[in-house]
């Protein structure tokens, strides 16, 4: 394995990537004489026509360049419950596309392959961001690569800001300012001032990210190595109190508080929501594909409660441990071709940006880089001619990426913990008389039971 260059994460502008899926060995793909077939995750949904056309074109080009490899792609997204079962049963794809919360448990269970030998030959490996790669390396082995990384920020509607008498070039940077802006939007436009999501683990996900901005944590590890809940304290209580004020005193959250992220994206795209929290680079392509107004989209820094921190994560690519040697090699070739080359090979970056712009896809959406600063700078120079996104609308978000501390998601049972926290968030937003202390005690018991189960 080559020595890898370690450098800090910096702001980046990248071509939006969409990933695909393929599979492995005798389970899903397989070796058939001289042809190796892999099943991959990450195929764009049929509704995202332009992204799907680009993806299918890339598959065809890849197969032309590699006549001994065939791709079978799926648009089924990762689901922690079903895919863990599929991996155990031998029916999971060859190439897995998973959130950064999943690698520790997948590695521990031996369900993903060591790719050290294959990645040693990848040209750009040494320049990959070490703050993401640290989650994918263990005891000298390398289990995957990042496809994209993200940090929480404020997504907002610039048009509603103007209608409410707010400055769209100066989005709120604290939770108190968000509350004031949300109240103004609701009072002057009749729209939801601040949107919230609480189902499919999203309530716990947001509670975690908001708690980080107050200096809190969700779980902590003791000196004996065991993990326990750590959110039953002031930082999380501050978040819950803020939610109660927005919901029951200001009436700026609206009445539909039991939705998931896809529901809120649709409402935001329709111009019915003033602000919400997400990863702006991930939201923007779907917003545009669904007919959202580019001029109305704004991205600001993650609002703060005093800690100057934001939740950061990534989507990573790993390979099923049951893949054959040939399937593993084919999967890494595809990972390099599809996810890495457009971000480090300036010629490919320019070609991809040109094709994406011609197809009407966003080019130049500001993101967290998956490569080091030098590689990113070369990339941005290469695509500058084709940028079709108003990056000034992301200025506040981009500035924050260089100043806020990045805090990772819970390293143990994150999705289970988020699911256990969903009822707490839902109760706060649906019951005006909800008792914060009692709800926190109940949630703490649930999370500690999950952690104990994972430790056994």
DSSP code string of 388-411: -S-GGGGHHHHHHHTTSEEEEPPS
Residue 32: the pLDDT is 63
Cα-flanking dihedrals φ and ψ of residue 22, to 5°?
Answer: -145, 175
What CA–CA distances, in Å, run from 412 to 84, 151, 397, 418, 443?
15, 19, 28, 11, 16
Cross-strand pairs, 12: 367
Cross-strand pairs, 128: 371
Neighbours of 10 (CB within 10 A): 16
72, 78, 81, 85 alpha-carbon torsion, rounded to 10°: 20
Neighbours of 282 (CB within 10 A): 18
pTM: 0.78
Instruction: Give, in words, the CATH class of 153-311+403-454.
Output: alpha beta
pLDDT by 10s per residue, the chain, length 456: 433 333 333 333 333 333 333 334 444 456 666 899 999 999 988 887 878 888 999 999 999 999 999 999 999 888 766 887 888 888 899 999 998 888 888 888 899 999 999 999 998 999 998 877 877 898 999 999 999 888 999 999 999 999 999 999 999 999 999 999 999 999 999 999 999 999 999 999 999 999 999 999 999 999 998 999 999 999 999 999 999 999 999 999 999 899 888 899 999 999 999 999 999 998 999 899 899 999 999 999 999 999 999 998 889 999 999 999 999 999 999 999 999 999 999 999 999 899 889 988 899 998 888 998 899 999 999 999 999 999 999 999 999 988 899 898 998 888 899 999 999 999 999 999 999 999 999 999 999 999 998 876
CB 178 within 8 A of CB 395: no
Say how far apart CA 122 and CA 107 lie, in whole Å: 22
Buried-state track 49-80, b at ≥16 Cβ within 10 A, e below 16: ebbbebbeebbeebeeeeeebbbbbbbeebeb
Residue 433: the pLDDT is 97
Listed by start position, the domains of the chain span 36-151+314-359, 153-311+403-454
Say how far apart CA 354 and CA 343 lie, in whole Å: 14
Say how far apart CA 16 and CA 5 lie, in whole Å: 24
Residue 237: the pLDDT is 98
Say how far apart CA 88 and CA 108 lie, in whole Å: 13
CB 100 within 8 A of CB 316: yes
Architecture of the domain made up of 36-151+314-359: 3-Layer(aba) Sandwich (3.40)
Residue 132: the pLDDT is 75
List the one residue out of 289, 270, 399 whose CA is nearest residue 50.
Answer: 289
Q: Is 216 exposed, middle or buried (0-12, 13-18, 19+ CB in 10 A)?
A: buried
Residue 456: the pLDDT is 64
Residue 395: the pLDDT is 95
User: What is the secondary structure of 19-35 as a DSSP string?
Assistant: --EE--TTTTSEEETTE
Residue 30: the pLDDT is 62
Residues in the chain: 456
């Amino acid at each position: 394995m080559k020595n890898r260059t370690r450098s800090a994460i910096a702001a980046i502008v990248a071509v939006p990537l969409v990933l695909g899926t393929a599979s492995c060995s005798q389970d899903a793909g397989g070796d058939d004489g001289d042809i190796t077939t892999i099943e991959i995750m990450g195929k764009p949904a049929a509704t995202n026509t332009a992204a799907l056309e680009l993806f299918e074109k890339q598959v065809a080009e890849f197969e032309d360049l590699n006549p001994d490899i065939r791709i079978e792609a799926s648009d089924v997204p990762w689901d922690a419950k079903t895919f863990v079962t599929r991996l155990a049963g031998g029916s999971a794809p060859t190439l897995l596309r998973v959130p950064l919360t999943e690698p520790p448990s997948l590695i521990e269970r031996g369900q993903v392959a060591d790719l050290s030998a294959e990645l040693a030959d990848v040209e750009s490996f040494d320049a990959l961001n070490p703050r993401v790669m640290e989650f994918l390396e263990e005891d000298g082995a390398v289990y995957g690569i990042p496809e994209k990384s993200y940090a929480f920020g404020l997504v907002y509607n610039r048009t509603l800001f103007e209608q409410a008498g707010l400055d769209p070039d100066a989005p709120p940077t604290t939770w108190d300012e968000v509350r004031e802006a949300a109240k103004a939007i609701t009072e002057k436009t009749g729209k939801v001032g601040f949107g919230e999501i609480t189902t499919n683990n999203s309530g716990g996900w947001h509670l975690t990210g908001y708690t980080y901005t107050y200096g809190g944590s969700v779980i902590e590890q003791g000196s004996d190595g065991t993990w326990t809940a750590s959110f039953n304290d002031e930082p999380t209580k501050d978040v819950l109190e803020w939610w109660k004020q927005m919901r029951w005193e200001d009436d700026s959250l609206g009445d539909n508080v039991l939705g998931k992220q896809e529901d809120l994206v649709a409402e935001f795209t329709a111009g019915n929501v003033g602000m919400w929290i997400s990863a702006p680079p991930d939201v923007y392509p779907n917003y545009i594909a669904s007919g959202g107004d580019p001029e109305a989209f704004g991205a600001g820094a993650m609002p703060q409660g005093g800690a100057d921190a934001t939740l950061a994560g990534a989507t990573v690519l790993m390979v099923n441990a049951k893949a054959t040697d040939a399937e593993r090699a084919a999967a890494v070739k595809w990972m390099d071709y599809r996810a890495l080359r457009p971000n480090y090979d300036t010629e490919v970056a320019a070609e991809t940006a040109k094709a994406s712009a011609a197809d009407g896809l966003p080019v130049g959406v500001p993101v967290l880089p998956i490569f080091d600063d030098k590689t990113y700078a070369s990339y941005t120079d290469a695509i500058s001619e084709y940028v079709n996104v108003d990056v000034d609308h992301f200025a506040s978000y981009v500035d924050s990426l260089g100043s806020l501390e990045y805090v990772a998601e819970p390293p143990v049972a994150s999705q289970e913990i988020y699911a256990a926290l969903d009822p707490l968030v839902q109760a706060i937003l649906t019951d005006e008389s909800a008792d914060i202390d009692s709800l926190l005690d109940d949630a703490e018991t649930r999370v500690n039971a999950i952690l104990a189960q994972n430790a056994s």
